[in-house]
Amino acid sequence: MVNSRDPERTRHRILAAATEEFARYGLGGARVDRIARRAAANKRMLYYYFRDKDNLFLAALEGRYAHIRAAERELDLEHLEPRIALKRLVEFTWRYFLEHPEFLTLLNSENLHKGRHVRRSRRVPEMHSTLVETLRGILRRGERDGVFRAGIDPVQLYISIAGEGYFYLSNRYTLAQIFKRDLMSRSALAERARHNTAMILNAVRRP
């Protein structure tokens, strides 16, 4: 066995395998057997470390939330000029969603299940207070500097920023089919990145 009594590593391998499996097949479609096999672990160990499939799903989801928020904090948006900061957040969000498609499918799954896992999580809300405050700060500074229009709610804005990329990427299979267009080519992705940034920056601009 790969698995020579290193509990920390075993746990980690299981979580990584589970994240990939849940991302690929959703919560309902994920198979406990496949997770165990990919983790090179005994199936019993999933239950030992994570109690049951639902709890394992929550762990995977928390792990990905923690990851995106940590990456976001590294942007250091507080110290940038407001328009630059906003541009940076838009670009980061797009890029993160593009490079971490598993995050999108995990969120879809969780919402299909009406958020019943995340509702039990203490960690997840904690992670998000800074995000809102940071964005609020950017908006306030931009408004004060006269570059952003007034009255924009940071939560609403964040949802718009995320929505721009989310819908494009999460629904890329149906969109490609209904619009008969390759959305994932290098040039299509570059164009969408430009479009997203233009949309958001124009939308908040002071008239």
Partner DNA sequence: GATGAATGAGGGTTCATTCAT
Partner DNA sequence: GATGAATGAACCCTCATTCAT
With CB under 8 A, what is the number of residues at the site for its own copies?
60
Residues from 114 through 133 that contact its own copies (CB under 8 A): 114-115, 118-119, 121, 124-125, 127-128, 132
Least distance to DNA, CB of residue 103, Å: 21
Q: How far apart are CA 118 and CA 102, in angstroms?
A: 16
Helix extents (H) in 39-185 = 43-50, 53-73, 82-99, 101-112, 123-145, 154-170, 172-179
Identify the CA nearest to 201 among candidates 156, 148, 151, 165.
Answer: 148
In the list DNA, its own copies, none, the entry touching 155 (Cβ below 5 to 8 angstroms by class) is its own copies
Q: By CB under 7 A, is residue 80 in contact with DNA?
A: no
- For residues 141, 143, 145, 146, the Cα torsion angle rounded to the nearest 10 degrees is 170
Beta bridge partners of 205: 148
Residue 42 binds which one of its own copies, DNA, none, with CB within 5 to 8 A depending on kind?
Answer: DNA
* Cβ closest to DNA, residue 1 vs residue 178: 1
7 binds its own copies (CB under 8 A): no
Instruction: Show the tokens assigned to 139.
Output: 């908006």
Exposure string (b/e) for 179-196, b if CB count within 10 Å is 16 or more? eeeebeeeeebeebbeeb
Distance from the first to the final alpha carbon of the chain: 65
Residue 44 within binding range of its own copies, rule CB under 8 A: no
Instruction: Compute the radius of gyration of the chain from its Cα atoms.
Output: 20
Please report how close the Cβ of residue 6 comes to DNA at its closest, in angstroms.
6
> Mask of contacts with its own copies, 183-202, x by CB under 8 A?
--------xx--xx-xxx-x
Q: Which residues bind its own copies (CB under 8 A)?
A: 25-26, 28-29, 65, 105, 107-115, 118-119, 121, 124-125, 127-128, 132, 149, 153, 155-156, 159-160, 162-168, 170-181, 191-192, 195-196, 198-200, 202-205, 207
Instruction: Write out the residues near DNA by the rule CB under 7 A.
Output: 1, 3-7, 10, 30-33, 41-45, 47-48, 52-54
